[in-house]
Amino acid sequence: MDCNTPKRTDFAHPPSQILFIATYLKKHLDIHVEILDLAQKINLENREKKLNDYLSIYDDFKFFGVSCYSSSLYLDSIFLGNTIRKLYPNSCIFVGGRHPSIYPNDFSYPESPFDYIFAGEAEVELYKLLKKLFINFKRPIKPKIINCEPLSVNEFVNIDWSLAESLDYIKNPNPNIYVFFPLFLSRGCSFRCNFCQDPNNNLTKCYRTVRRLPLNEALNAILSINQRFRDRKNLFYVVSISDPLFGNYDFRIKLYKELIKKAPEQYYGAQTRLDLFKPDKEITYIKKLKFMIEFGMDGGCEKMLKILNKTRQPNKYLRQIVYASKKLDENQIFHSINTIIGHPGETNKTLSQTIEFLRALVRNKHYLLPHIFRYGWWPGSETYDNMKKYETKYGTKFFFKEWWKFENQKYTALLLNPSNEVNFIDITYNFRDFHLDLFKTISKNRIGQREDMKEIRQKYFFIITMAINNMKHYPATFLKDVREKFPHLFDLN
């Protein structure tokens, strides 16, 4: 497999959730806001010193906000909060994001660095709080939890992308980095997949309440990115529509038509469900754009689709995947399919059925990239909230029930035995074998040669090459690290 386009070696995603809040505050309050993307920096060696150096220039700031979007960032968020508190003991520190919305009490404890914990969509409540604090600045005696209601469409703001100019990969563009500008044209999802975080608290309202921008505002949100960054030298970017569900059919068709008229030269990406996608009609428009589309298939066999609560018609769902991928490939549209393995209930038979389905799906395809993910169990999901059900029904073993509180989070979220007959060691080897089997097939097929999307062809090429190289060593490396850190787990199997 050869590829003649420039090699790109990394991916960057501006922190959209923080940018939404910063934009809202900037719009409604006369304050100076700065965005710090520390996602990479806090994982470096000597991170405390480096983080101190990085934060030391903000001694005139009174307020600091920390985003804990994912449970896997819990300990990093605590570390960052403690670092800010040591540097600026009299400052006011907020925390928000998905994990604080699910378990706000994880951030409320004696000596917690945080003053306010926001659960839910925080823009309006943070604005109200800051207005009060500007008049009478006083920190609470102990951390205070603020529950937030879902925002209405009238309260949505389109991100002010000038706030992202300070981010390293935008301030100093690197030709070897893909920048994915995450754009949300809606909030909320009406589906109830069991693996997805959908907790029974205030975030449920925010997550379940589907709210969509009107077409004109959605289009303006997309065009504002192009207007600011289109001519930026060395900045290669994709406008990535990151909604839980990419609009409804009528909305998508209207948006495609507007993009064809107003910005057909830009790269776009979006994700949606295959059972909502109408290939025969939508492909007519998508093929006129430089558009990549991503589908969360999630289960590759009927039994797992039922366990995941992905669909009530699994056989029809799988047929829809086969048909949509065939049509997309024939029309030279790059698309990806996401699949989860190792969810509670997984057996040797379901693993075999999944790989057989995927193997047939990628055969002779040139524009399809399958993504296989090991199941990680997330607090707030149906699976997490009903562990006993899975333990009783399938023999699932969950080894770290508060895995985010352990230092080795890249392992602990993955360490479970899906069923009586499949354990985490089996999944480790299957994870490798699935990747090698599918990606070697794709390598032989060769990636599509669409002339106007050479950069995306290179992206696919790079992902496949890296996956093949990494997967060869994955089981040995993963299991060696797990054995060193958690040797007792091998006895429990």
Q: What is the CATH number of the domain that holds 167?
A: 3.80.30.20
Return the SS3 of 110.
coil
What does the pLDDT profile of the chain (493 residues) look like in tens digits? 344 444 556 788 999 889 999 999 999 998 889 888 876 566 666 778 888 888 888 988 999 999 998 899 999 999 999 999 999 999 999 999 999 999 999 999 999 999 999 999 999 999 999 999 999 999 999 999 999 999 999 999 999 999 999 898 999 998 888 899 999 999 988 888 898 876 555 566 787 888 999 999 999 999 999 999 999 999 999 999 998 888 889 999 999 999 999 999 999 999 998 888 999 999 999 999 999 999 999 999 999 999 999 999 999 999 999 999 999 999 999 999 999 999 999 999 999 999 999 999 999 999 999 999 999 989 989 999 999 999 999 999 999 999 999 988 878 999 999 999 999 999 999 999 999 999 989 888 888 889 899 888 888 888 888 888 889 999 999 999 999 999 988 887 7
119 and 176 housed in the same domain: no
Give 237's strand partners: 179
Question: CB count, 10 Å around CB of 316?
Answer: 10
Return the closest-CA partner of residue 191 out of 289, 136, 283, 273. 273
184 and 286 housed in the same domain: yes
162 and 103 housed in the same domain: no
Question: CB count, 10 Å around CB of 109?
Answer: 11
Task: Work out how many domains the chain is built from and give that number.
Answer: 2
For residue 37, the enclosing domain spans 15-149
User: Is position 390 within any domain?
Assistant: no
User: Where does 37-122 have alpha helices with state H?
Assistant: 47-55, 74-87, 98-102
200 and 342 housed in the same domain: yes
Alpha-carbon distance of 432 to 468, in angstroms, equals: 9
125 and 242 housed in the same domain: no
Amino acid at 357: F
Return the closest-CA partner of residue 336 out of 295, 279, 381. 295
Alpha-carbon distance of 197 to 246, in angstroms, equals: 18
220 and 130 housed in the same domain: no
Q: What is the dihedral of CA 302, 305, 310, 312, to 10 degrees?
A: 40
Alpha-carbon distance of 253 to 282, in angstroms, equals: 7
Q: Which two tokens stand for residue 46?
A: 């000597």
Alpha-carbon distance of 98 to 81, in angstroms, equals: 16
Give 373's strand partners: 340
User: Which CATH number is 96's domain given?
Assistant: 3.40.50
Residues 6+ apart with CB under 8 A from 461: 1, 3, 447
127 and 164 housed in the same domain: no
141 and 162 housed in the same domain: no
